[in-house]
Structure 1
């Protein structure tokens, strides 16, 4: 089968979802009000609460959620065949992710930009809030610790990507000044930023910057991890307009350009889908597709981390409530296009089926490497760029999105500590610097305390990321559903996705529980039980609240 067919069907479906389904959700379910005073105006402080142009805010939101996960998940899940991965990405984006991300922004903005964890205390119960915030903390800890390892690995493997990855920070700082201080035209600034970024990408292969294999007593990877967390510490405390917004905005533009290059190359090269539509001869040890497919592909179909970004940073910058549809739903569509590109690169970016099977010889193979190498094969063949430049382009894309996600993740983790300080009356924890020290310190403790001198401790708990992340998405949909019931609006459009997610996620947790027990992995077994118990408790709390509200509504009707 031609990859062009998959591309056109996928992009067409995503476009129709945004045009029609998101419009229906905005008008009939969330009922957006253009005159509603958003928290960005109510609490404007020039640091976290900043009314923002919807295109710039879309760039922040999209690139914060579109980290390495929408590349890694699909590029791993195609081991079951490209068909199931494709269906889950397209249908999940339209009916699950768009509604979830959009809804989390709306719910948070309607409640003074509170995070989903804090919001749970208002709409469900204080007990549910406490449990929910523990799950949120675990997800952020996993994301920040693991993405540092992913970025470090890419910078080691692709030294040609080092210059553009770090150079874009200077470009973003300049863009922030030009937009907010100099009030320059957004289009002119955007063109400048794109030219500067792509100039760095093309210069990168000529100026490769390699980290020594050992820096004192640290490995090269560990050195990069420390540098990344030092950067994240500073970046997470800067006003959002200085670095976070402009960096995310220009990254959002470059992703669409990069995807445009990728899809144009598909049209010109017309590669075949080398991998099978449904793989009936998976390698030994590969788990069952159901339920594992639905937690292996999280970002790109639906992801609980998106709800943290939506209610953590995005809702604080929402200029008009009506912007939530474009920022939230279209942000999910953008990530769906990235996941679709990852599926095509990881299944059509190989010369033969034998070559594909040699890479996918075990479950967990593929990932970012399959995306970069497979995508480079398609781009170099379709557009005539060198393999090295093509690989650099895609490696930079993966690094930049993992980096922006990490920036936002550390900021969100700081918010969690500050909210704990607010809830439990710990005054010093409410302040930016102590809360950021705790956020970065927790990540570093996991990275080096559990992982030793290589700093890869985050990888120890990464097997639980998929299930914990999807659990978080289901619980976010539960909170949104409770809000809809309180407002007397239909909740079927959030209820169906959340029931599906909770069933699949709890099933996956049980499967993993057995695997961890059989492998004697008691640490992950313990964490699995903690997450499973948390899922059941919060689900019971929310279900009880939903049933009570529905009974009250029926009583009032009668």
Structure 2
């Protein structure tokens, strides 16, 4: 089969979702209203609450939720076969991710920009709030600690990516100042992209690296510390100064990358060499169901999206109706990235024959980011004629910048959670932005170096929990949205069905992993996995109690 067929069917499906299904959900279910005063206007403080152009906000939201996850997940999950991966990405984007992300934006905006954990107190109950926020903090801790390691590893392995990665920050600072002074967005975007890609080209000739040992630590460990110092500073800056323009530029860079990859598919029309359903899996390979649905999270549906939507994006929403553009279209963009990742790692660009493909994908977890960069670079070379080395650098920088923007937003979100704890429990010291940021960064570094020693790789120890924990969080977010809709006497079936499906898949995946961790005698993961599973059950029971009580009160009033 030619990859162009997969691309056409997937894109058409997601576009139908955008033009029809998202309009229906926005108008008939969420009832988005331009007259509603968003928190960005009501609480405008020039730092976190800032009314933002929906295109710029889309760039921030898209790149913050994307990270490297919509590349890593699909590039691993294709091991089970490209058909289940494509189906979950396309249908997940249309009916799960788009509704989840738009709904989280809407729910948070209706509660003064509170995070999903904080607003769950008024929607479900105070007990659920504390439980909810534990899961959110755990997910953020995983993401920040691991993405710091991922970027550091990339800087060590790809010194050509260091110069363009830091140049992107300088470009973003300049653009932030120009946007503040009302400069036209389109010319700035064009100039910013040109400078960014010029830095990518220059990076090929200016490899930058740290000494192998410095201050008694390896180069990777020093990069981790530098990255968290940067993330701490970035999280305290006003969103218009760095976060928005950095994410916007990265969003535009992704559009260029998607244009190159999708264009290469139409020009080269490569065949698919991966099996539709892989029948030659290794003996110890876990079952496709439920593991597929937690392996591909970003690109189908992801709880981390709800944290970003309710943590930073809702505070910048200019109009409530912008939630459809930012949330649903952001999910479509991520679905497109996941789809082209599947094509890049499934075709002749990566492996010329089915036999070669099976050599690359010898077991679950093989391939991943390296397969995407190799397959994508060969695909671009075949379609556009660009040198493979330059194409590889483009894709490597794209992965690094995405991971960086997610880390930027992740530390800021951790700071919000800690400040919310300060408000909830009346701990004045935690209400300070500086103190909350220091606590957030300290916990990440404590995990990185406390569990991983001088290598700084401690975050990888709890990373295996991310898949099921992240999807359980997505189901909890959909639950909060559903309870809000029920209380408003609106149809909740469009969020309850995705919630139930994701919860069942994630819960059973968590049970499978719990057994796996126990047999491996990894008791830290056993404990954390058990905590997440128990918390999710308690929140669901609390929500069911609230819904039942509300229904009884309705009947009594009638």
TM-score range, shorter chain: over 0.9
SS in 1 for 2:497: helix
Kept in 2: contact 1:38–1:320 (CA 8 A): yes
SS in 1 for 2:402: helix
Task: Tell me what 1:47 maps to.
Answer: 47
Q: CA RMSD in A?
A: 0.9
In the TM superposition, what are the counterparts of 1:377-526 in structure 2 within 5 Å?
Answer: 377-526=378-527
| Alpha-carbon separation, structure 1, partners of 2:212 and 2:283 | 34
Task: Tell me what 1:145 maps to.
Answer: 145
Aligned-residue offset at 1:183: 1.4
Structure 1 gaps, min length 5 = none
SS in 2 for 1:206: coil
Describe the superposition over 1:442-490 as per-residue Cα deviations: whole angstroms up to 9, x where unpaired. Answer: 0000000001111111100000000000000000000000100111100
Task: Tell me what 2:372 maps to.
Answer: 371
| Alpha-carbon separation, structure 1, partners of 2:161 and 2:222 | 17
| Alpha-carbon separation, structure 1, partners of 2:520 and 2:372 | 30
Task: Tell me what 1:7 maps to.
Answer: 7
Kept in 2: contact 1:149–1:456 (CA 8 A): yes
Aligned-residue offset at 1:112: 0.6
Task: Tell me what 1:163 maps to.
Answer: 163
Kept in 2: contact 1:115–1:312 (CA 8 A): yes
SS in 2 for 1:236: helix
Kept in 2: contact 1:235–1:407 (CA 8 A): yes
Task: Tell me what 2:283 maps to.
Answer: 284
Aligned-residue offset at 1:197: 0.9
More divergent stretch after superposition (333-342 vs 346-355): 346-355
Kept in 2: contact 1:262–1:378 (CA 8 A): yes
Kept in 2: contact 1:285–1:363 (CA 8 A): no
Task: Tell me what 1:308 maps to.
Answer: 307
| Alpha-carbon separation, structure 2, partners of 1:497 and 1:18 | 17
In the TM superposition, what are the counterparts of 1:268-283 in structure 2 within 5 Å?
Answer: 268-283=267-282
SS in 2 for 1:292: helix
Aligned-residue offset at 1:382: 1.4
Structure 2 gaps, min length 5 = none
Aligned-residue offset at 1:522: 1.1
SS in 2 for 1:91: helix
Aligned-residue offset at 1:216: 3.6
In the TM superposition, what are the counterparts of 1:232-271 in structure 2 within 5 Å?
Answer: 232-271=231-270
Kept in 2: contact 1:71–1:339 (CA 8 A): yes
Runs of 4+ in 1 over 6 A off after TM superposition: none
| Alpha-carbon separation, structure 1, partners of 2:215 and 2:272 | 47
Aligned-residue offset at 1:214: 2.4
Aligned-residue offset at 1:384: 1.0
Task: Tell me what 2:68 maps to.
Answer: 68
Kept in 2: contact 1:70–1:339 (CA 8 A): yes
Kept in 2: contact 1:284–1:362 (CA 8 A): no
| Alpha-carbon separation, structure 2, partners of 1:539 and 1:220 | 45
Aligned-residue offset at 1:428: 1.2
Describe the superposition over 1:114-133 as per-residue Cα deviations: whole angstroms up to 9, x where unpaired. Answer: 10000111111111111110
| Alpha-carbon separation, structure 2, partners of 1:347 and 1:292 | 19
Describe the superposition over 1:374-428 as per-residue Cα deviations: whole angstroms up to 9, x where unpaired. Answer: 1011111211111110000101111111100000000000001000000000011
Aligned-residue offset at 1:83: 0.6
| Alpha-carbon separation, structure 1, partners of 2:127 and 2:218 | 43
Task: Tell me what 2:185 maps to.
Answer: 186
| Alpha-carbon separation, structure 2, partners of 1:318 and 1:535 | 29
| Alpha-carbon separation, structure 2, partners of 1:229 and 1:187 | 32
Aligned-residue offset at 1:353: 2.1
Kept in 2: contact 1:145–1:458 (CA 8 A): yes
| Alpha-carbon separation, structure 2, partners of 1:215 and 1:267 | 48
Kept in 2: contact 1:47–1:239 (CA 8 A): yes
SS in 1 for 2:129: helix
Task: Tell me what 2:200 maps to.
Answer: 201
Task: Tell me what 1:25 maps to.
Answer: 25
Aligned-residue offset at 1:254: 0.9
Aligned-residue offset at 1:223: 1.4
| Alpha-carbon separation, structure 1, partners of 2:138 and 2:207 | 36
Task: Tell me what 2:120 maps to.
Answer: 120
| Alpha-carbon separation, structure 2, partners of 1:224 and 1:107 | 38
Aligned-residue offset at 1:498: 0.3
Q: TM-score, normalised by structure 1?
A: 0.98
Aligned-residue offset at 1:521: 1.3
Aligned-residue offset at 1:435: 0.2
| Alpha-carbon separation, structure 1, partners of 2:244 and 2:524 | 38
| Alpha-carbon separation, structure 2, partners of 1:321 and 1:303 | 22
| Alpha-carbon separation, structure 1, partners of 2:369 and 2:134 | 29
Aligned length: 556
Task: Tell me what 2:338 maps to.
Answer: 339
Describe the superposition over 1:196-247 as per-residue Cα deviations: whole angstroms up to 9, x where unpaired. Answer: 1111112211112233332242112111111110110100000000000000
Aligned-residue offset at 1:502: 0.8
Describe the superposition over 1:152-179 as per-residue Cα deviations: whole angstroms up to 9, x where unpaired. Answer: 1122222111111110000000000111
Task: Tell me what 1:317 maps to.
Answer: 316
| Alpha-carbon separation, structure 1, partners of 2:364 and 2:554 | 49
| Alpha-carbon separation, structure 2, partners of 1:121 and 1:72 | 34
More divergent stretch after superposition (236-245 vs 194-203): 194-203
SS in 2 for 1:163: helix
Aligned-residue offset at 1:355: 2.4
| Alpha-carbon separation, structure 1, partners of 2:216 and 2:70 | 34
Q: TM-score, normalised by structure 2?
A: 0.98
Task: Tell me what 2:543 maps to.
Answer: 542
| Alpha-carbon separation, structure 1, partners of 2:122 and 2:521 | 40
